[in-house]
Structure 1
Amino acid sequence: MKNILMVKANDRPAAESISSRMFETFFEEVKDNANLNVNVYDIYKEDMPYIGQDLFGAFGKMAANEELNEAEQRVIAANQKARDAFSEADVVVIAFPLWNLTIPAKLQTFIDYIFASGYAFKYDETGKMIALLPDKKIILLNARGGVYSTIETQAMEMSVNYLRNVFVGIFQNEIIDEIIIEGHNKAPEQAETIIQEGLEKVRQSAKRL
């Protein structure tokens, strides 16, 4: 059985959010598939403190067998839960919007939890980076109301580009599908066609699992 981790990175209802509709469309196709074990990780329902001194201090205390305070226990638990979910997955599906040219802060925190030396990668004796979880397959489902795929605008887009760099560039994972719905706000007269064509691609992606 294939383990699917679906990361939901938008708390807006599907009626108001295209990336939420992409998530729901994909989920509906896979939830009853007997060959798939589907785990949903809704980052807006998870307790996910930002990484900082509480986490780094906790790591130091744990190495020294010292007791953690409440804040340190909280962030360690959140960090471990994200890593466990990612570790168990064969395929990771991330549905996320472009907000202010980048990803939501909550999704950044999820990435921060798993983007760690000793977990996702390590350095050998020559300083070369070695991926530790290279067999994961990634599916990116992104929505953006403007158009960021042109030569003039693509350098501004730091959501899909960022996740490509993380999962392919650092983790050495394979992106097996990347579906982007864009331009529906810029061209409202074409919005329904743009959205429906994109959602059909989402359905087909889910069926291929």
Structure 2
Amino acid sequence: MSTRLLHIVATPRGLASNTGRISAVLLEGLHDRYDDLDVSTLDLFSADLPAVAGVNIKTKYALMTGQPLDEGARASWSEIERTIEQFLAADVYLLTVPMWNFGIPYALKYYIDAIVQPGYLFRYDETGRPHGLVHGKRMVCVTSRGADYTQQPLLSLDYLNTYLATIFGFVGITDIQFFSAQPMDVSPDSRRAAFRTAIGEVRSWVAGGAWEGSPPPPAEALPPEVKPQVIVEEAPDNGVA
């Protein structure tokens, strides 16, 4: 059985970007090591992602409260579900993410807001405590920064890796590997040095076995959970056959 990897590209320059070039080296190494690797690419800056607004935001709260949906709402929400299903179908995720204004690019935030839905990627128990529903998955994040955020005063301004680890850990993905290239914009020499360092780390990680071994189990045993039940509102019976 093949290993399905979803490459989520969150840079408008794609694999031509500095971050993308590092991811390309990573993918090349993984293909060489794992013959059964099946890679799909989701380019967030060209994808037609569903909006979490308008009909869909109303549908989200209708589902959470068990209200029926009309056909229009159901059809619109199915776009959200297809996006979630694409995400959940993968065994491994590769995120290619440059830092934008201390955090993630807006296209990635838009995507995360679309897929992180209650009843699909997480749920609340009877006490209101959230539980992630995405288990047995792995994630690799290739990130880059213009300056050096490994020390103060910039260290406290780096929300990139922290946010990614937080949001995907929240839904249950705890096996997350980070590769961070920095500084990329200070000078040509610093960019070359940062690129060489990141490439070396990526190649060493792949040569060392990458994600061989079993992924971590969920933190606690939970009963099987299903997505919210969609109740389609029926047309009123006017007595006409």
TM-score (norm 2): 0.74
Shift of the alpha carbon at 1:94?
0.4
Matches within 5 A, 1:1-209: 1-12=2-13, 14-15=15-16, 17-31=17-31, 33-59=34-60, 60=62, 63-68=67-72, 73=75, 76-168=77-169, 170-206=170-206, 208-209=210-211
| Aligned partner of residue 72 in structure 2, secondary structure | coil
Aligned to 2:223: none
Shift of the alpha carbon at 1:36?
1.6
**Alpha-carbon distance in 2 for matches of 1:52, 1:147:** 37
Aligned to 2:238: none
Shift of the alpha carbon at 1:109?
1.2
**Alpha-carbon distance in 2 for matches of 1:154, 1:135:** 31
Q: Closer, same or farther in 2 for the Cα pair 1:122/1:98, shift >3 Å?
A: same
Q: Closer, same or farther in 2 for the Cα pair 1:185/1:174, shift >3 Å?
A: same
Over the matched positions of the two proteins, sequence identity in percent amounts to 23
**Alpha-carbon distance in 1 for matches of 2:31, 2:67:** 40
Letter in 1 for 2:159: M
- RMSD, aligned CA: 2.4
| Aligned partner of residue 103 in structure 1, secondary structure | coil
Letter in 1 for 2:68: A
| Aligned partner of residue 203 in structure 1, secondary structure | helix
Letter in 2 for 1:68: G
* Worse overlay, 20-29 or 172-181: 20-29
Where does structure 2 lack aligned partners over 5 or more consecutive residues?
Answer: 212-241
Q: Closer, same or farther in 2 for the Cα pair 1:172/1:58, shift >3 Å?
A: closer
**Alpha-carbon distance in 2 for matches of 1:81, 1:200:** 37
CA contact (8 A) 2:9 2:41 kept: yes
Q: Closer, same or farther in 2 for the Cα pair 1:188/1:41, shift >3 Å?
A: same
TM-score (norm 1): 0.85
Letter in 2 for 1:132: L
* Worse overlay, 26-35 or 98-107: 26-35
Q: Which has the higher strand share?
A: 1
CA contact (8 A) 2:51 2:114 kept: no
1:129-149 deviations in whole A, cap 9, x for unaligned? 222113221111101111112
Q: Closer, same or farther in 2 for the Cα pair 1:131/1:14, shift >3 Å?
A: closer
CA contact (8 A) 2:144 2:184 kept: no
Please say which structure displays the higher CA radius of gyration: 2
Q: Closer, same or farther in 2 for the Cα pair 1:42/1:203, shift >3 Å?
A: farther
| Aligned partner of residue 87 in structure 2, secondary structure | helix
1:44-71 deviations in whole A, cap 9, x for unaligned? 22101442223123444995241217xx
* Worse overlay, 124-133 or 30-39: 30-39
Shift of the alpha carbon at 1:77?
4.6
Matched residue count? 204
**Alpha-carbon distance in 1 for matches of 2:95, 2:24:** 12
